[in-house]
Amino acid sequence: MNSSADDDIRALVDALKRRTAARGERVPALDSVLHLVANDEAEIAIDGLIHTANAFRLLSRQGEYDRLLAAAARLDHADGVTDIDPDLLRPVSEDI
């Protein structure tokens, strides 16, 4: 268990859930990602989060992605994070 990595994953999922809710959408797969983190499956949670972001076209700020990449690196699982569609990453200054 790496609570720092877990916290970073949770933070990104929470941000994505807030943004989708603001648009009137709900992405249940994000709850599944949180469930994986809670059950000490952070590496699988990262894979699920990247797949969900790509499948549902969930935009992330570059800083959020960088934080997720750092969390994945702490878990020795950084390779999977690079699978995110780069078109989904936005600069910190851009409102998403």
Kindly report, residue by residue over 55-70, the tens digit of the pLDDT.
Answer: 999 999 999 999 999 9
How many residues can be counted in the chain? 96
Strand 89-90 vs strand 60-61: parallel, antiparallel, or unpaired? Answer: parallel
- Whether 94 shows a pLDDT value over 90: the answer reads no
Number of domains in the chain: 1
Question: What is the rounded average pLDDT of the residues 31-54?
Answer: 97
- The whole-angstrom distance between residue 91's C-alpha and the CA centroid of its chain comes to 16
**Which residues are registered as beta bridge partners of 89?**
60
Q: Which residues pair with 23 in a beta bridge?
A: none
In a domain, 93, yes or no: no
Distance between CA atoms of residues 14 and 10, nearest Å:
6
Give residue 9's pLDDT: 96
Query: Do the beta carbons of residue 19 and residue 96 sit within 8 Å?
Result: yes
Q: Is the pLDDT of residue 2 over 90?
A: no
In a domain, 13, yes or no: yes
Structural domain boundaries, residue 43: 3-88
Report whether 12 contacts 72 (CB < 8 A): no
In a domain, 44, yes or no: yes
pTM of the model: 0.90
Domain contains 49: yes
Domain membership of residue 95 (yes or no) is no
Average pLDDT, the chain: 93
- CB–CB of 9/38 below 8 Å? no
Nearest to 56 by CA among 94, 9, 13, 93: 13
pLDDT band at 51 (very low <50, low <70, confident <90, very high): very high
